[in-house]
Amino acid sequence: MMAEAEDRLQNYRSLFRLDGRVALVLGAASGIGKASAEALAALGAVVICADKNKQGVEETAAALSRQGRLEAHVIDASDGNAINALAATIEKAHGRLDVAVTTPAIHVRKLLLDYTDEEYDRVVDLNLRGTFYFLRAFGRMMARQKSGSLIASSSVRATTLEPGLAIYGATKAGIIQMVRGLASELGSHGVRVNAIVPSIVETALVSPLKARPEIWNALAKHTVFNRWARADEVGAAVAFLASDAASYISGTALLVDGGWTAIDGPPTGLTKTYSEPA
């Protein structure tokens, strides 16, 4: 009985491992993408890093490389031809791709009525069209091989907004719907498709907000923890969705939001300190 119990425990542990898996992270130069690449590598995957930032993506790949093998590609996530070329390169070099993660996004914080056509195109082309290119290219590869996990990056702004984020929020809502649709189409091929949905994440890109503590703290108070997320906390969610521990999860938008969408602002006047009974 003890041996059987230990076997079951070992089986559960192995579900989270990614040994022998080939994973791609687009957006690996920084932030959530970099943390995702680190998490996947820590669990045993061979990680292919891609990003528009040449120096950043090469630094990430070098830190994760094994036996001096550096897997780095410089690519514009909004360029469909470049995405297709990357898919062909990976298929030729590795023969398969088990995990594909995309995280790049931008936003122009501006009232909708003040948006220019150029600003709209810039946000939609990267966030929505770029995600479409990614899901299509690597979804086709995984459909052929009859397995794989596709993971896209959405945001709580898909459902909760503030002035100036309408277009960004629309793209993030669109990503969730694309994920759901593709999950319904690829399930019979053994491919899972999911999205991560973070709220506020502390990365280098938002470091200027630290100089404005009133904004930084106000956003933190939208969470039950009264703090911003660390990038590795989102990366861990990505690694979970990539693993066999999530083998029955597809078409899901996984909230990694610190309770942002569960509460309606911070409690006022009802805060209490709890302690163990004497």
Widest CA span in the chain: 68
**CA nearest to 151, candidates 55, 235, 41:** 235
How far apart (Å, rounded) are the C-alpha atoms in residues 275 and 252?
Answer: 37
Cross-strand pairs, 152: 102, 195
DSSP 141-197: HHHHHT-EEEEEE--GGGT---TT-HHHHHHHHHHHHHHHHHHHHHGGGTEEEEEEE
* Residues involved in catalysis: 168
Helix (H, G, I), strand (E, B) or coil at 5: helix
Burial call 190-215: b when 16+ CB within 10 Å, e when fewer = ebbbbbbbbbbbbbeeeeebeeeeee
Structure tokens at 187: 């399930």
Q: Which residues contact 140 (CB under 8 A, 6 or more apart)?
A: 87
Q: What are phi and psi of 50, to 5 degrees?
A: -140, 145
